[in-house]
Chain A
Amino acid sequence: MKLTELYLDEIHHHLPPKNREDILKEIRSTLLDMVEDRNPDPSQPADETTVKAVLKEFGAPREVAAQYGAKNYLIGPRMFPTYLQVLRIVLIIYAALNVLGVVVTIFSQSSIDASVFVTIAKIVGGLFSSLFTGFGIVTLSFAGIERTTPEELTIKVDQEWEPDQLLKHEDVQKVKYTELAFEITLTLVFIALINFFLDRIGIYYLGDSGWVSAPILNENFLRYVPWITAYSIFDIGLNLYLIRTGFWDKWASISKILINVFKIAVSIAIIVGPAVITVSANAWKNLGFDLDTTAQQFTRGMNIGLDIILGLRIFSLVVYSFKLIYSNFIKGRHAYFEISNR
């Protein structure tokens, strides 16, 4: 009977805690029934061969336990879609923060020398380990949730599904995750740049004590920083929302249009307001261009250039917004009309 007890012990390991003892009691009783039934000589206790044959027939302990609903997976089907969704977002944020780390490192060094590149190499190497960490944390959390959430509770990713949703999404753009991840990263870097390293945006030249940077954005620019930061954060928020939903819905489009209006307003303010670029005479001289222009003239040229760039940007934002309005509200309504007419 030793073999039977070892077998039951093994099943015990793999059973879910609920009803464990009761299940084992029933299996034990069944095994005894089977052995008794197969025993060629009922007057004698069953021999080992009979017991082994019975256990073999009953099946591998792990498989037996699995039949009682023991979980032999880390994250089950009810959690898996949510898991993937969260994992995607977390990994993108992790990657973005790492790139941000690289940028911060570059700009917080007083002068650029070889050690910066060593640091960058380290950070890029660290990216992989931190991505693994993110992956691990998300996976373990979900494995935990999987085991602690009662079976009855299902976590639904999609709301009540209706065939109408197919029509709604039919000609709606699907989002591209790599593009969004890239955008989020760049935006984060941009926010860090204008908020903490504004003085590093400028002209770089080789001075007496290594590389020197002369900032070109003057104090007039400072007043726009909070506004630019604000719309950048909205942009990130929208991109995270898009990663979650996976496609451009009406709300995403409306938000994007509002953000664009915000951006256009700030761009116009910069164009109309006082010049934001100043090139110092010293820096200009040190650049050593053999030109007949003065620092003032160059500054004026830079500001005009910036205004032209901002003008083009406003134009492209307007076009983009109208495209969004067209594809979401005008074209969409038309499609509905066609179908309801059938």
Chain B
Amino acid sequence: MKDDAVHEQTQNLVQELRRGMIVLAVLSQLDEEQYGYSLMKGLEDQGMLIDQGTLYPLLRRLEEQGLLASDWRVESSRPRRYYILNNFGKKVLVEMTTEWVRIKTTVDNLLSNEKEN
């Protein structure tokens, strides 16, 4: 019972942790243009699961914020919306990556300190 509670709580917190990374994960994959489903599959293949309900609205928000460009194209008799980073988005991605590395280092340090103590 107790282990179940630990597991459940961990899952909740991990989900929260993940939520913060999603934007970075999505941006990182969009230096080449992709449509929603291919992007999702690509992320999934690399171990980053994203909920459908989260991904598509997120892409729209990022486009509204001016980080992405998109256009509709008809492929194999089906229209698909392709997204790609624009110049602004590229710059944001570079800065976010730097920040991410900094956060990762800090947290790694914190975690290793804890083990030593």
A: which residues have CB within 8 A of B?
A: 19, 23, 25-27, 29-30, 32-34, 37, 57-59, 63-64, 67-69
Q: A19-B60, A68-B60, A69-B57 are in contact. Are A26 and B81 (CB under 8 A)?
A: yes
Q: Which residues on the B side are within 8 Å of A23 (C-beta)?
A: 56, 60
Secondary structure dominating the interface of A: helix
A58→B60 CA distance, assembly (Å):
17
A30 touches B78 (CB 8 A): no
Q: Is B37 an interface residue (CB 8 A)?
A: yes
B56 touches A63 (CB 8 A): no
B79 touches A29 (CB 8 A): yes
Q: Is B42 an interface residue (CB 8 A)?
A: no
Interface contact tally, CB-CB below 8 A: 46
Q: Which residues on the A side are within 8 Å of B78 (C-beta)?
A: 29, 32-33
- Cβ-neighbour of B53 out of A32, A67, A69 (below 8 A): A67
Q: A23-B60, A25-B79, A68-B60 are in contact. Are A30 and B53 (CB under 8 A)?
A: no
A57→B50 CA distance, assembly (Å):
12
Q: Which residues on the B side are within 8 Å of A57 (C-beta)?
A: 52
Question: Which of A27, A30, A57, A69 counts the most chain B CB atoms within 10 A?
Answer: A30
A23→B72 CA distance, assembly (Å):
12
- Cβ-neighbour of A27 out of B35, B38, B56 (below 8 A): B56
Q: Which residues on the A side are within 8 Å of B80 (C-beta)?
A: 29, 33
A58 touches B81 (CB 8 A): no
Q: A23-B60, A25-B79 are in contact. Are A58 and B53 (CB under 8 A)?
A: yes
Q: Which residues on the A side are within 8 Å of B38 (C-beta)?
A: 33
Q: A30-B37, A33-B37 are in contact. Are A68 and B81 (CB under 8 A)?
A: no
Q: Which residues on the B side are within 8 Å of A27 (C-beta)?
A: 56
A59 touches B60 (CB 8 A): no
Smallest Cβ-Cβ distance to A32: which chain B residue: B78
B37 touches A34 (CB 8 A): yes
A30→B52 CA distance, assembly (Å):
9
A58 touches B57 (CB 8 A): no
Q: Is B54 an interface residue (CB 8 A)?
A: yes
Q: Which residues on the A side are within 8 Å of B53 (C-beta)?
A: 58-59, 63-64, 67
A32→B35 CA distance, assembly (Å):
13
A29→B54 CA distance, assembly (Å):
16
Q: Can you list 24 residue pairs at the A/B interface with Cβ under 8 Å?
A: A25-B79, A26-B81, A29-B35, A29-B37, A29-B79, A29-B80, A30-B36, A30-B37, A30-B56, A33-B35, A33-B36, A33-B38, A33-B80, A37-B41, A57-B52, A58-B52, A58-B53, A59-B52, A59-B53, A63-B53, A67-B54, A67-B56, A67-B57, A68-B60
Smallest Cβ-Cβ distance to B80: which chain A residue: A29
Q: A26-B81, A57-B52, A58-B52 are known; give 6 further A-B pairs, CB within 8 A.
A: A29-B37, A30-B36, A30-B52, A33-B35, A33-B78, A58-B53
Q: Which residues on the A side are within 8 Å of B54 (C-beta)?
A: 67
Smallest Cβ-Cβ distance to B79: which chain A residue: A29
Smallest Cβ-Cβ distance to B64: which chain A residue: A19
A29→B83 CA distance, assembly (Å):
14
Q: Which residues of B in the span 10-67 have a Cβ within 8 Å of any Cβ on A?
A: 35-38, 41, 52-54, 56-57, 60
Q: Which residues on the A side are within 8 Å of B36 (C-beta)?
A: 26, 29-30, 33
Smallest Cβ-Cβ distance to A25: which chain B residue: B79
Q: Which residues on the B side are within 8 Å of A29 (C-beta)?
A: 35-37, 78-81
A71–chain B nearest beta-carbon distance, Å:
14
A30→B59 CA distance, assembly (Å):
13
